[in-house]
Amino acid sequence: MDQTELGLRYRFAQGVVREAGQIALERYRRRDSLTIERKGRQDFVSEADKACEEFVVGALLKAFPADAFLGEEGGAQNAGGEATWIIDPIDGTTNFIAGIPVWCVSLGLVIGGKSVLGIIYNPVTEEFYAAQEGEGAFLNGKRIRVSSAQKLDEARMHLGFSYRRPIQEHVSSVTACLEASCEYARFGSGALGMAFAADGRFDGYYEAHINAWDVAAGIVIASEAGASINDFFAGGGISKGNPILCCTPALAPQLREIAGIS
Ligand code: IPD
């Protein structure tokens, strides 16, 4: 896809995500009245997730009918197209339902196993992250960079977890962080976790297994902000997920060793 086509998608997608954020925000404000279903262990979907995804896919499909789509709630459409939009309509659904303002709309575009466009929007805090490969990463229009953290004993990691992986694995990564005197937190939104690593609020994000819709946008945002990131899309990551390790370049060798990631 040439730069003109990509630029067109970048601009259009930002408008779509802003609107999707308002759809989600309206429902967040009346969250007690929403229908919520349980998908698995600590895994929920609300009618807001569905409405938001339907809106994003509908708008993009109308503008770019040949593009492929992969959404957390709707599965795949036009599979096999050159470019695949990857959508998490609400990342941090548990927070959304509980009224904790740590959730976002996340939209990424993947071409040839690379994340080339990413948009992450938290309409509660009005924080809008966007990046296009080669063009830098921005938060509300201002360029962002990863932190300058050099050593783990001065760093703060965001450690994600889901019941898709054994509990002990997460406990071991928390232990390894603490043993290295590294601070850690878990906020319940992988997409925002990546965004916070991109703008230096955290020095990195690690999760032993995460799905493509949680990180497709965050990968290009963090990478354009100067982060070191593993090849998440290798070996079928787009369809079955993979581990993710995103951090400042100086921390990468140590963290890779701890996480067992090459
Ligand atoms: C989850 C969140 C969580 C991460 C999980 C994801 P959801 O996504 O991003 O922080 O640790 O791996 O499944 O269910 O809130 O969209």
- pLDDT tens digits for range 20-50: 999 999 999 998 887 877 877 877 777 888 8
Write the single-letter amino acid at 94.
Answer: T
Which amino acid is residue 213, in one-letter code?
W
Instruction: Report which ligand 1 atom has the smallest distance to the Cα of 193.
Output: 10
Helix (H) or strand (E) holding 94: helix 93-98
CA distance 161 to 154: 23
Our answer on whether the CB atom of 189 is closer than 6 Å to any ligand 1 atom is yes
Say how many Å lie between the CA of residue 59 and the centre of ligand 1. 24
Atom of ligand 1 at shortest range from CA of 210 = 12
92 lines ligand 1 (CB under 6 A): yes
Kindly give the distance from the C-alpha atom of residue 3 to the centroid of ligand 1, in angstroms, as a whole number.
32
Q: Whose CA is nearest to atom 4 of ligand 1?
A: 190
Contact 214, 243 (CB under 8 A): no
Decide: 224 in ligand 1 pocket, CB within 6 A.
Answer: no
CA pair distance 226, 160, nearest whole angstrom: 21
91 lines ligand 1 (CB under 6 A): yes
Q: What pLDDT does 120 receive?
A: 98
DSSP state of 147: -
Indicate the Cα dihedral angle 158, 163, 168, 174, nearest 10°.
10
Measured from the CB, is residue 162 less than 6 Å from ligand 1? yes
Q: Among 91, 95, 107, which Cα is nearest to 18's? A: 107
pLDDT at 37: 76
- Give the model's pLDDT for residue 211: 96
Residues of the chain with pLDDT under 50: none
Residues sharing a CB contact under 8 Å with residue 154, sequence separation 6 or more, in sequence order: none
CA 90 to centroid of ligand 1, rounded, Å: 9
207 lines ligand 1 (CB under 6 A): yes
Atom in ligand 1 nearest the alpha carbon of residue 49: 16
Coil/strand/helix, residue 92:
coil
CA 1 to chain centre: 23
3-state secondary structure of 34: coil
Question: What is the rounded distance in angstroms from the CA atom of residue 89 to the CA atom of residue 102?
Answer: 14
Task: Return the pLDDT at 73.
Answer: 80
Radius of gyration of the chain (CA): 17
**35 vs 32: CA distance, rounded Å:** 9
pLDDT at 81: 76
Task: Give residue for tokens 């924080």.
Answer: 127
Residue 47 confidence (pLDDT): 84
- Ligand 1 in contact with 161 (CB < 6 A)? yes
Ligand 1, residues 87, 91, 232, 246: which to mutate, most atoms within 8 A of Cβ?
91
